[in-house]
A and B are shown apart, each in its own frame.
Chain A
């Protein structure tokens, strides 16, 4: 049984040091998730810090406004590009400046509020630019700040978990930095599609055995079983994984 929390529940009640990542292709899914995450915290009297692109800040603000949660002194909105510029040196994030800018902003909010929920797109900006080493370093800096201060963090990457090119290093690197991975809107449907696709490609007995092996070798990052199985398959049987990915995509598209 997949005991992974569904993403809505996870975002409503994150752990005090959770560092979650959402993969998305549809803006609506991103806005829904961020509004869920920030809105739940604001209703509990927590603070929020959003470091995002201008168009997304506008979308998040509108979603929070509809819930009468914004404007509010508990919400701090920062521009992702401008914030990045304050601590990037020679294409890489610099710890002291990062700690001063980000750690300072969170510490400031924590003086007034019991805890803080942070949402950030800076890593995605670096990632989309191809600066993957810088993106992963920045994720590590976020984790380092997370060890020094109490806050939860949600990141978002515009990445397709059913695209073969997302694997073989990219998705695995992203996973290593996060406590939870949210790959899809409907976990049950996603898991069923992966399971059915595996059975179609491998036949039921072999698929069942491999999915059980995958489940027993799950990464430490919490994620739906179907996503863990895809990562495991891609690492260990890449050609098989590509067929399962194609079949999973076809099943999700036709459902």
Chain B
């Protein structure tokens, strides 16, 4: 996938004005925004055909997702796992890899957190919490890093492999929480033993949002620095454009692939950590709620730019936060969110075909009119 945001580095002398710079950057923002609106429009049409009011739908989403301080807290709490899940797609995408199995790393990261939390129940939080966080990150890194390794050493398609491994991860989680790690007291919903109160992650002071949001934002910034400001990020971009050329240049393509997929997996593992340590309190089937799949859409909407992931994740978290109210008030099924995501996803992918087609974004073509 070509990266439009990096183009301004080669500004031509004739068209280096501020306006021209702005025009080039505008394309990378306005085209996805336009696609988002087209996706919403198609979804509105779908609602109209069902005899439902799109105006009411979006008004409810605004009210329940962004209208009050309470709804903002709700939205931001759901943003944290989405930031991590989207990074798990965006980082490998720098190398041209489409990894869609982040859900597996989230689930197993959560199980690792729960198991580690039980083992360290008596330890001080200052020691136990970092160990739990690292355990979740390592589990996620190994899981998605394995996808990268299979890709590099065996040529296994990473898209199919990662999704298969997500199914395997969920089966593994079911096996562990129903068997070896099961808390005998959890009758209806098999779970690991609940974390002791000292090992629960709390809220950011003054907010009703857990610390996962803060770490998620930091990780997005760090990922942006890694990609745009370091030689590793630069090497990854070259390898993503042309593997053969990168190998001839002597770049360690294998390590880049494994490193970027493993880092993405580690981020997804963080999401599992916070779902267990801050939200559910123990590892169980609630870990597999589809954050990993929403993360795919977010990464594509953000054009795999870690900083753009932040606003997009907040937007989609708002839709998820409002889905309960929308279902009740408008008598819509819970699958409505999935339908909306499908339409937006297709619109954003179609927009790929329009890059470079509009003269207004290409200053070098302005004079030729």
Whether both chains belong to one complex is answered with no
